[in-house]
Structure 1
Amino acid sequence: MSPPDLVLAFHGTEKPAGQQLARRVVLAVAAALPQVKVHLGWADVLTPTLTQTLSAVGPAVVVPCFLASGYHVTSDLPAAVQASGGRARLTPSLGAAPEAVLAARLAEAGGPGDAVVLAAAGSKRETANRQAADAAARLAREIGRPVRPAFVTAAAPSPAEVVAALRAAGYRRVAIASFLLAPGVFHDRLRSAGADLVSEPIGDHPLVIATIVDRYRQAVADDDDRIWAGADRQGAIA
């Protein structure tokens, strides 16, 4: 029996660099899982949508390529999976990137500087914003610098507001750590927030690829456990 397909659900962006990043992730995951067919489904902006992708494949595991549990993760993606008629299983999202990844991206940009703004997309879902705040606290412990969360949209404060507050507090070299997965409009906005440097998005860092592979393998293992548990129960009844 062949393993279920893997569908990576990305937000979607009109920026070619963001689209290319998603495709690089697909290729990297496919190389790590050579026996598995890996597909791309967009949650917004682009096609094929996740619903369209799921309609074209058989049994599949869907991994949301999102750093926080905002509206797409908690509403749109579950609805698409439900519409597949039970042929797809949705895993948890990637979750907050490890602080080591954020620190590495800051170092690549010439940081960390004297203080850091962790710039997340922002969400109307408070749970997603708290996840960004937690990531800021972990990054502060990792780099030994003050780190304050900020949000590009849907929540406050903005990156520009936090940069200004840190400068007013006496920090001379302020960096922005991009808490975004891919290049796009949100990342472009960070460059005009007044910081001395802005790190690149988390992108296709090896730990991102490893997390996706782990999500897929765990979902398949959970399905196998349920199948065997069901067989045991049937045997006991018989």
Structure 2
Amino acid sequence: MTLVLVAHGTRRPEGLATITEIAAAVAEQVGPVHTAFVDVLRPNPREVLAGLSGPATVVPAFLASGYHVNTDLPARVRESGHASAVITRALGPDPAIAEVMLARLLEVGWEPGDAVVMAAAGSSDPDAHRDLHSAGRLLADLVGEVHLGFVATGALKVCDVVGALKRSGRRVVVASHLLAPGIFHNRLGDCGADAVTRPLGADPRLVALLADRFAHVASVSCQ
């Protein structure tokens, strides 16, 4: 069984370095990992799978479902002609991701009573919206009230949500619901929040989620 880790792709060196670090950490647990990108960078999933033989597990390193997970990735897999590739679900929503965001919040000095804005990239896909709202509720289970805001696609922009909360006189902390640093995360620093967490990155809990996706498909295949 071959594992293919699929990320979005970024031209930012720091973002690519994070994906490389995540893939290396997963490989330490499950063996060799091939990395592909659905946008910006190559190789794409079609190119990677076309060069592989035997069963393959394709794991989308996305925090929510959406166009890339539901439409783009399956299309590239079909184009590859690979007959035995299984695509797992997206990483989130998942309690482990909420735990990582809580850890990031504590790193920047979040305290109970501070307003929390969960900042996601956003999507026009209804499935992604449901996933992101579910992710917000999982974080709220740990920190109390959570306000959802989008960096790119979506009506509730992070900066607008932060501004409204600041006008109420509250201390506002942005919880980055982003996998890696890049242009989206950089935008969060311009929203006027009192603190912004770093992206999730190669946190061991996130790496364990990825490894679990592979292990689950492998165990089913062996039955």
**What's the TM-score bracket when you normalise by the shorter of the two chains?**
over 0.9
CA–CA distance in structure 2, aligned partners of residues 185 and 126 of structure 1: 24
Q: Within the alignment, does 1:28 sit opposite 2:25 as a pair?
A: yes
Q: Let me know the Cα RMSD of the aligned residues.
A: 1.4
1:81-92 equivalence runs, <5 A: 81-85=77-81, 86-92=83-89
CA–CA distance in structure 1, aligned partners of residues 116 and 155 of structure 2: 16
Q: Following TM superposition, by how much is the alpha carbon of 1:96 offset from its aligned partner in structure 2, in angstroms?
A: 2.3
Q: Following TM superposition, by how much is the alpha carbon of 1:110 offset from its aligned partner in structure 2, in angstroms?
A: 2.1
CA–CA distance in structure 1, aligned partners of residues 84 and 140 of structure 2: 42
Q: Following TM superposition, by how much is the alpha carbon of 1:37 offset from its aligned partner in structure 2, in angstroms?
A: 2.2
CA–CA distance in structure 2, aligned partners of residues 156 and 179 of structure 1: 17
Q: Please report the TM-score for the alignment, with normalisation by the length of structure 1.
A: 0.87
**1:189 corresponds to:** 187
**2:67 corresponds to:** 71
The amino acid that maps onto 1:214 is D
**2:101 corresponds to:** 102
1:216-227 equivalence runs, <5 A: 216-225=214-223
Matched pairs, number = 218
SS of equivalent residue, structure 2 residue 169:
coil
CA–CA distance in structure 2, aligned partners of residues 79 and 179 of structure 1: 26
> Residues 175 and 197 of structure 1 are in contact (CA less than 8 Å); yes or no, is this contact kept in structure 2?
yes
The amino acid that maps onto 1:147 is V
Q: Following TM superposition, by how much is the alpha carbon of 1:105 offset from its aligned partner in structure 2, in angstroms?
A: 0.7
Q: Following TM superposition, by how much is the alpha carbon of 1:7 offset from its aligned partner in structure 2, in angstroms?
A: 0.5
The amino acid that maps onto 1:43 is V
**2:211 corresponds to:** 213
Q: Following TM superposition, by how much is the alpha carbon of 1:207 offset from its aligned partner in structure 2, in angstroms?
A: 0.9
* 42-51 vs 78-87, greater mean Cα deviation: 78-87
CA–CA distance in structure 1, aligned partners of residues 49 and 156 of structure 2: 37
> Residues 102 and 142 of structure 2 are in contact (CA less than 8 Å); yes or no, is this contact kept in structure 1?
yes
CA–CA distance in structure 2, aligned partners of residues 129 and 197 of structure 1: 25
SS of equivalent residue, structure 1 residue 154:
coil
CA–CA distance in structure 1, aligned partners of residues 48 and 192 of structure 2: 40
**2:177 corresponds to:** 179
SS of equivalent residue, structure 1 residue 136:
helix
CA–CA distance in structure 2, aligned partners of residues 170 and 57 of structure 1: 57
Larger of the two Rg values belongs to structure: 1
> Residues 121 and 151 of structure 1 are in contact (CA less than 8 Å); yes or no, is this contact kept in structure 2?
yes
CA–CA distance in structure 1, aligned partners of residues 25 and 114 of structure 2: 35
The amino acid that maps onto 1:174 is V
Q: Please report the TM-score for the alignment, with normalisation by the length of structure 2.
A: 0.93
SS of equivalent residue, structure 1 residue 68:
coil
User: Which runs of 5 or more structure 1 residues have no equivalent in the other structure?
Assistant: 226-238
User: Which runs of 5 or more structure 2 residues have no equivalent in the other structure?
Assistant: none
**1:93 corresponds to:** 90
Q: Following TM superposition, by how much is the alpha carbon of 1:58 offset from its aligned partner in structure 2, in angstroms?
A: 2.0
Q: Following TM superposition, by how much is the alpha carbon of 1:168 offset from its aligned partner in structure 2, in angstroms?
A: 2.4
Percent of aligned positions that are identical = 44
Which of 57, 62, 65 is the matching residue for 2:58?
Answer: 62
CA–CA distance in structure 2, aligned partners of residues 9 and 155 of structure 1: 24
**1:136 corresponds to:** 136
CA–CA distance in structure 1, aligned partners of residues 60 and 178 of structure 2: 14
> Residues 23 and 35 of structure 2 are in contact (CA less than 8 Å); yes or no, is this contact kept in structure 1?
yes
Q: Deviations over 1:180-237 (max 9, x none)?
A: 1111111111111110110011111111111111111111222233xxxxxxxxxxxx
CA–CA distance in structure 2, aligned partners of residues 95 and 137 of structure 1: 12
> Residues 175 and 198 of structure 1 are in contact (CA less than 8 Å); yes or no, is this contact kept in structure 2?
yes
